[in-house]
Amino acid sequence: MKIHAILRFSIILLAFIATSLTGQDKLQVLSSASIFQDMAEHIGGEKILATSIVPIGGDPHLYEPVPSDVAKVQDADIILINGLTFEGWISQLVENSGTDATSVLITKSVNPLGSQVYENATDPHAWMDASNGLIYAKNIYNAIIKADPENTSYYQDRYQSYITQLKDLDAYISTQINTIPEFKRVLITSHDAFAYYGNRYGIELSAIMGISTEAEAQTSDVMRVINDIKKRGVPAVFIESTINPKLVKQIASDTGAKIGGELYADSIGEEGSPGHGYIEMLRHNTDVIVRALTQDNIDSENVTADSGINYLLYAAIGLFLIIALLVLVYFIQRN
Please say whether the beta carbons of 30 and 101 come within 8 A: yes
Q: Which CB, 41 or 87, lies closer to Zn ion?
A: 87
Shortest separation between residue 265's beta carbon and Zn ion, angstroms: 6
Site for Zn ion in 180-219 (CB under 5 A): 193
How open is the CA angle 287-236-282, to the nearest 5 degrees?
25
Q: Which CB, 129 or 266, lies closer to Zn ion?
A: 266
Q: Which CB, 155 or 238, lies closer to Zn ion?
A: 238
Number of residues that bind Zn ion (CB under 5 A): 2
Cα distance between residue 281 and residue 130, in whole Å: 11
Using the rule CB under 5 A, is 263 a contact of Zn ion?
A: no
Shortest separation between residue 144's beta carbon and Zn ion, angstroms: 26
Shortest separation between residue 200's beta carbon and Zn ion, angstroms: 17
Cβ neighbours for 254, distance < 8 A, ≥ 6 positions apart: 226
Q: Which CB, 159 or 264, lies closer to Zn ion?
A: 264
| Binder of Zn ion out of 266, 268, 275, 298 (CB under 5 A) | 266
Shortest separation between residue 94's beta carbon and Zn ion, angstroms: 21
Using the rule CB under 5 A, is 59 a contact of Zn ion?
A: no
Shortest separation between residue 173's beta carbon and Zn ion, angstroms: 19
Amino acid at the residue 146 = K
Q: Which phi and psi angles does 252 have, rounded to 5°?
A: -60, -45
Cα distance between residue 104 and residue 226, in whole Å: 41
Q: Which CB, 43 or 209, lies closer to Zn ion?
A: 209
Using the rule CB under 5 A, is 240 a contact of Zn ion?
A: no
Cα distance between residue 128 and residue 152, in whole Å: 28
Please say whether the beta carbons of 176 and 111 come within 8 A: no
Shortest separation between residue 242's beta carbon and Zn ion, angstroms: 8
Please say whether the beta carbons of 141 and 161 come within 8 A: no
Q: Which CB, 198 or 233, lies closer to Zn ion?
A: 198
Please say whether the beta carbons of 229 and 184 come within 8 A: no
Binding stretches for Zn ion (CB under 5 A)? 193, 266
